[in-house]
Amino acid sequence: MNHATNPKKTSVRSDEWLEILDEINVGAFTVDNNRRVASMNLNAQALIGMKESEAIGKDCREVFVGVPCLARCPFSGSSDSDTEEPVIQIEDENQQPHFVTRMATPVYGRNQSAAGCLTILQDHSPIADLIDRIHYEERSLKIILDNLDVGIFTVDRSGHITFFNTEAEKISGYNRRDVLGQSCTTLFEGKGVRDLCLLKESIIDGESRSSQQGKMMTRDGVTIPIRANYMALRNEKGTIVGGLATFHDLTLIRQFKQAMRNRYTFHDMVGKSPLMQKIFGMVNIVASTDATILIEGTTGTGKDLLAKVIHSASHRANKPFVKVNCAAIPDNLIESEMFGYVKGAFTGAERDKIGRFQEAEGGTILLDEIGDLPLPLQAKLLRVIEDKEFYRLGSRHTIKVNTRIISATNRNLEKLVKNRLFREDLYYRLNVFRIEIPTLRERQDDLPLLIGHILRRLVAAAGQRPPEVSETVMKILLNYTYPGNVRELENILEHALITCQHDTLEERHLPEYLISPQTARRPGLREKQQRLPIPDNLECDDILAALNQHNWHRIRTARALGMDRTTLWRKMKKFGLSD
């Protein structure tokens, strides 16, 4: 009997085997002991791109030209046991790539001699989409799922992603081409492990589960809050073949609640650079104490935000957080603002008024721009730190206060002390625990994270999704020096969002000075101004760099530096900067 010409009667071929393998989306073909193809199921034909009638009776080495024959041939002395080979990539008749695991095993006749070989092709390609096997017969369902305002993805039983809709792309930042066929652990690293466990448990026992406070990791490595539901997927026979997740981005809701509570956590500070990770570690240690903290950093680095994070992580989190900008209040008013006054203390004082220290009772007070505090008031502040009490203006009675003091400055206090512009004893009282925030140019590794984080925050208020950032725009943003630090980056992205009416940020949406930067210094700047012998050259250099970057346009410079025009004018006058 010729097995090749009459394959249906050969002991090698089993229609039942091939039909079963077709049902579970596995390709298979058999050859006889003369290496001639005896049969092929439908999935194998689709994967190899050849009809069964074209292959029957031909030498398998001729039929499968171009398809790597990685399985060990049972006719060349291989083991009787199944042999699993590495994953290979082949193209089907439509030239679509498939990742396939190929396994081969000998088939024995009645006399226990090898009568042929059975080869199995396990397709791991995302094209074999499980969503087509769960009671849905119309492919139009995918179009419907793609247009829903909810993120959806499906996985097979091993956790590999098989479907990823458009909303899931927007929320996660991943393109479906990047995740299809990949493990879903990519979406749930770190704090999202609990959600991963819920999905796996649903696949195991078939029970649906919900996560009201879930976490997902975006492509940029940022953890975002989600609300998710997880369920098992079953085929038409009721067998669990995978899982399905639906999820909503809760970033907007979280920001709203946070604004209502005025509470901050580490989620508001973004950074994976070693410098920022070191700061996060320091904050974890000092937040639980009542130690006085000094935060140093140039303008726009996020000193205010760090102070709020420390307050929220402390046992004073439910008490007031009060900020005093020592540079923005006139010298003749700052004492009454900080410590209050009694009725009749001066002309116009018609009633008692409490100061900022009393407002912060039990909580935290942030003394921003502490380097600009007048010397006479520094002595009074020193007494508050040492004795926990002060006099209101015009009063002879002391007031006890329980307030944690956090001070912030963009000036070098140590140099101010050497130049007798700041009290040495006060400096040492404030400098119990010092945290220095790096400039944005010192943590450029964080730029992609910050860009994505800021875009999501800016568009969340309007209930929108952040646009894509073109390669040209990203290159410009990554190569800019940011004299105004994170605050300037926020202003740049806000400007781009206003001018962008499409789904992608292009070069034309950026501020003009980024597209055509001014490399020359403004004419009229005296050379001696570039070498000013002042104690805080760092702040002067930042202001000078911002002025040059914005062609000495004061409004734009002030906006980039995050300060009022009057404050910028006063600092320019102080440093002798003029145009």
pLDDT given for residue 560 in this prediction = 77
pLDDT given for residue 130 in this prediction = 44
Cα maximum dimension of the chain = 121
Closest CA to 570 of 338, 356, 347, 330: 330
pLDDT given for residue 125 in this prediction = 52
- Helix, strand, or coil (residue 162): strand
Go through the chain and tell me how many residues it has: 579
Domains of the chain are 7-123 (3.30.450.20), 130-249 (3.30.450.20), 260-436 (3.40.50.300), 440-515 (1.10.8.60), 527-575 (1.10.10)
Q: Which two tokens stand for residue 131?
A: 């969503």
Amino acid identity at 214? G
Separation CA 341–CA 392 (nearest Å): 5
The beta-strand segments (E) located in 76-157 are 83-91, 97-108, 114-123, 151-156
Asked whether the CA dihedral 569, 570, 573, 574 is positive or negative, the reply is: negative
pLDDT given for residue 433 in this prediction = 94
pLDDT given for residue 331 in this prediction = 79
Q: What is the CA radius of gyration of the chain?
A: 34
**With a cut of 50, which residues of the chain have pLDDT below it?**
1-13, 68, 70-71, 77-86, 126-138, 518-536
Asked whether the CA dihedral 496, 500, 503, 504 is positive or negative, the reply is: negative
The beta-strand segments (E) located in 289-403 are 293-296, 321-325, 340-341, 353-354, 364-368, 389-391, 398-400
pTM, full prediction? 0.55
pLDDT given for residue 225 in this prediction = 86
Please state the separation of Cα 58 from the chain's center in Å: 55
Half-sphere exposure of 297 (CA within 13 A, CB side): 31
Give how far Cα 86 sits from Cα of 72, 100, 105, 277, 427, Å. Answer: 12, 9, 15, 40, 66
Which residues, other chains included, contact 170 with Cβ-Cβ below 8 Å and sequence gap of 6+?
151, 465
* Alpha helices, DSSP H, located in 373-412: 375-387
Amino acid identity at 7? P
Please tell me what DSSP assigns to residue 91.
Answer: E
Q: What backbone torsions phi and psi does residue 40 show, to the nearest 5 degrees?
A: -145, 135
Place of tokens 């009393």: 358
Residue 266: other Cβ atoms inside 10 A: 14
Amino acid identity at 575? F
pLDDT given for residue 336 in this prediction = 87
- Helix, strand, or coil (residue 27): strand
Mind giving me the DSSP string for 417-435? HHTTSS-HHHHHHHTTEEE
